């Protein structure tokens, strides 16, 4: 049946002139072995939910998960720092006021080590790194004590909204 009449209250409301935010466009490439439980697919889905929850619709993100050797080479090339790191963030925008468009490189090996220390799974640690990179692209900075605390509180709020609870500032009793 093709019935175009509607009897609900929504039918009485005028159409909104404000366009809905575009859905995030997120790709994820694993250039290192997957973790257990698998992050492939899950990571992009979770980050898309984080983008929507943070009100950053329309974001374009390319995630690449690499091993220590690849991360160390990228860290040295782009930051001039030897050694591995958890996440590198690359902002592809010419205008920081335009929708987020960036590349995130996440270190699988660092996530496995850190997750083992903290007692949670590595894919949750990878999600923390992805949210951290997302917040850098949204203008957050963690180089001052106040900025560090604000950024990590925001990370944990986003992760809690996804049903994961705090990861960075996990209560001591849960560690």
Binding residues for Zn(2+): 132, 136, 142
Residue 99: closest CA among 67, 138, 152, 42: 138
Angle at 42 between CA 104 and CA 88, to 5 degrees: 15
CA of 144: how far to CAs of 81, 136, 149, in Å? 19, 14, 9
Q: How far apart, in Å, are the Cα atoms of 25 and each of 8, 22, 58, 96, 127?
A: 33, 9, 7, 18, 16
30 DSSP assignment = E
Cα 154 to Cα 54: distance, rounded to the nearest angstrom: 9
101-107 and 25-30 beta bridge pairing: unpaired
Residue 6 Cα to chain centre, angstroms = 39
**Nearest CA among 113, 60, 61, 62 for reference residue 85:** 113
């Amino acid at each position: 049946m093709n019935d175009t009449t509607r009897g609900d209250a929504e039918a009485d409301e005028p159409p909104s002139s404000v366009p809905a935010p575009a859905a995030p466009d997120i790709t994820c490439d694993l250039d290192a072995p997957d973790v257990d439980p698998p992050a492939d697919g899950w990571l992009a889905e979770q980050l898309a939910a984080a983008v929507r929850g943070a009100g950053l619709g329309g974001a374009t993100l390319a995630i690449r998960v690499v091993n220590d050797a690849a991360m160390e080479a990228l860290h040295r090339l782009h930051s001039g720092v030897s050694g591995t790191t958890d996440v590198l963030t690359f902002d592809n925008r010419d205008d920081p006021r335009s929708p987020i468009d960036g590349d995130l490189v996440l270190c699988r090996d660092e996530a496995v080590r850190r997750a083992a220390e903290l007692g949670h799974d590595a894919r949750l640690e990878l999600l923390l790194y992805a949210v951290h990179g997302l917040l850098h692209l949204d203008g957050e900075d963690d180089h001052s004590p106040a900025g560090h605390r604000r950024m990590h509180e925001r990370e944990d709020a986003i992760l809690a909204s996804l049903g994961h609870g705090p990861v960075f500032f996990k209560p001591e009793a849960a560690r």
